[in-house]
Amino acid sequence: MIEIEGLSMDRDGVRVLDDVSLQIPDRSLTMLIGPNGAGKSTLLGLIARLLRPSAGHVRVDGLDVFRAASDAVARKLAILRQENHILPQLTVEELVGFGRYPHSRGRLAAEDRRQIADALHRANIAALAGRRLFELSGGQRQRAFLAMVLAQDTPYLLLDEPLNNLDPRQAISMMQVLRRAVTDLGKSIVMVVHDVNCASFYGDRIVAMNAGRLVAMGSPKDIVVPSTLRMIYGVDMSVHEVGGARIVQPFS
Amino acid sequence: MCALVEPRALRAGGRLLALAFVAVLAGVAFLTVGAKGDWGFVLSLRGGKLAGMVLVGVAIAVSTVLFQTVTRNRLLTPSVMGFDALYVALQTAIVFAFGAHGLAGIDPQLRFLLHVLLMLVVTGALFHGLIARTRGDLHLLLLSGVVFGLFCRSLTGFMQRVLDPNEFAVLQGLVFARFNTIEVTLLPVAGAALLAVLPLVWRLAPALDVLALGRDVAIGVGLDHDRIQRRTVALAAILVCVSTALVGPVLFLGILVSNLAYRLLASERHRDTLPAAALIAVTVLIGGQTLMERVVGLDIPLGVVIDFVGGGVFLLLLMRSQRE
């Protein structure tokens, strides 16, 4: 379980995250939604100890991420951010191999190679394993980086808008990969999405933020209702029930 | 999957061997071409210069690759960022403060170690913060470096003008080493410093591979990012001391050889790119000096030629990165 307690952060004197407390249960796909600048990426970055909070704690299975050794945390949780520095000559397989760093310290054993092959397969990029990053499209790079965090083989995965750069077909296949990781492998995933329909359709739970605060959380059925959406985004959206899922029609 | 990795490693190994062969050829040519008279005398004279150039080449190449990994930018060198200008400024400041005779009285080897220590303190304080604060912004980092280098050079110039002419003469002897007049007295201590640093760099190499992926990814996979970054800057600073003490500032050799190494090896592993850059640098220095001294017989200092060619490559890379 990820326990977030009174988490706040100031940047240049501006409070970008304000007293967030939240528990993320195991074996669940949690969708983090909210308008731009709501603090979603900041929250994700803090949980993954990429940023330092002004106040508050984050514990992952009891491990204080700001105090514990970095590699101990790296065996608990993996994070994929939106922007990644591209080393042009790196092959996809080498990149995915870096996901094994907290386990192998750069020296790959048989188990590491098995995990790499498995991650390449699950992220649907095994066919491109020998390609170099400069040869790949944006969507392919996105999947290569996803394979890297999958290879890290952590119980918790934090993904910051993993559907960026992906066309609808790739986005659906990515969501299926993530859904299976939760259902079949028992992972816990927290991801930032902009598409409310994606959150509604694939999420077990939705956490909504606005202006650095949590404004709502619950199952898609609780969150995807016009009054709550209006509170989160400040616009009116009509909600329809299609095949058991709540679908939003955003443009009026 | 394993089958994919092995041929790549083999290919990199083969290319490194070829580079090493060319470097040895250049060394033999430097020792023997146009030699007349007593071989013992020729070899001891040229051997000293050869050793100096090997040290300088390795130090410049390795410090540049380390620096480019920390800044995640392949257009930067410690020289462009003003590291060697800082070294010269520190030396000048010591003469300025304590007088040339006080400085000349200290054993040169000990003096070198003092400079290294001072350099570590100053770069540690300055550059770690600078790199952290300009994170990702190449232009800001480059501009800060150029301004910092300019500041150091101006400060050096100012102090030298104010100095007593006799003290200035002593300082000149200390500071203005060149390829043609390598500081042979410093070879043992500079060599020892290099030999102490290289194993540390080699051990750091797998962590450097991770560092190159960017701060977020590096922390994400559990690297102690800030510590590794500090250590890398410190090692680069020691190497800058080695090369600057022996031959003075060389601006663009690092850019030339590091980018050639990335091209030739087509690898992102530091255990490939570091030795490749070092071998290329040694070849360029020794081969260039052989050509200049013995074949062409021109009296142009090698440093000028290298900065001319390297500066051209720098501009070319800069323009290409703009287009992307």
Best residue in B4, B216, B223, B317 for a mutation probing chain A (most A CBs within 10 Å): B216
Are A84 and B214 inside 8 Å of each other by CB?
yes
For residues A52 and A66, the answer to whether their CB atoms sit within 8 Å is: yes
Structural domains of chain A in order of their starting residue, each with its CATH number? 2-76+155-249 (3.40.50.300), 84-153 (no CATH)
CB pairs under 8 A between A and B: 83
Domain boundaries, chain B: 52-250
Can you tell me the distance from the alpha carbon of A252 to that of B49, in angstroms, rounded to the nearest whole number? 79
Taking an 8 Å cut-off on Cβ atoms, the answer to whether A129 and B4 are in contact is yes
User: Which residues are within 8 A (CB) of B245 and not within 5 positions of it... i.e. 6 or more apart?
Assistant: B87, B112, B115, B177, B183, B186, B190
* Distance in angstroms (rounded) separating the CA atoms of residues B172 and B159: 12
Find the DSSP H helices in chain B: 2-32, 39-71, 83-98, 100-105, 108-133, 138-162, 165-175, 187-211, 215-220, 225-247, 253-265, 270-290, 302-323
Q: Which of A79, A92, A98 to mutate to test the interface with B (most CBs of B within 10 A)?
A: A98
CATH superfamily of this structure's domain B52-250:
ABC transporter involved in vitamin B12 uptake, BtuC (1.10.3470.10)
Residues (pLDDT < 50) of chain A are none
Give residue B137's pLDDT.
65
Contacts of B210 in chain A (CB under 8 A): 98, 101, 106
Cβ neighbour number for residue B154 with a 10 Å cutoff: 12
Inspect the interface and report whether the beta carbons of A152 and B221 lie closer than 8 Å. yes
Best to test chain A binding among B138, B202, B213, B265 (most A CBs inside 10 Å): B213
pLDDT of residue B282: 93
pLDDT at B265: 87
pLDDT at B138: 62
Residues of B in contact with A131 (CB under 8 A): none
Question: How many residues in chain A?
Answer: 252
Kindly identify which residue of chain A lies nearest to residue B69, measuring between CA atoms. Answer: A87
Q: What is the pLDDT of residue B2?
A: 43
Predicted local confidence at residue B252, as pLDDT: 82
Q: Does the beta-carbon distance from A74 to B217 stay under 8 Å?
A: no
Q: What is the mean pLDDT of each run of 10 residues along chain B (324 residues)?
A: 56 88 88 76 81 91 92 82 82 78 72 81 75 66 81 86 77 65 80 93 93 90 87 88 82 87 89 94 88 73 75 78 60
d(CA A34, CA B155): 53
Q: What is the CA radius of gyration of chain B?
A: 20
Of A183, A214, A227, whose CA–CA distance to A22 is shortest?
A214
Q: Which residue of B has its CA nearest to A101?
A: B221
Tell me which amino acid residue B50 is.
L
Confidence (pLDDT) at A138: 84
Q: Which residues of chain A does B1 touch, with a Cβ-Cβ cutoff of 8 Å?
A: 93, 113, 116-117, 120, 129
Closest to B181 in 3D by CA, of B93, B53, B36: B53
What's the ipTM?
A: 0.88
Question: In chain B, which residues touch A (CB < 8 A)?
Answer: 1-2, 4-5, 8, 72, 206-207, 209-210, 212-217, 219-225, 262, 266-268
Contact A215/A231 with Cβ under 8 angstroms?
yes
Q: What does the alpha-carbon distance between residue B57 and residue B34 come to, in Å, rounded to a whole number? A: 23
The three-state secondary structure class of A83 is coil
Tell me which residue in A74, A85, A117 faces B220 most closely, judged by beta carbons. Answer: A74
The angle formed by the CA atoms of residues A237, A202 and A242, to the nearest 5 degrees, is: 50
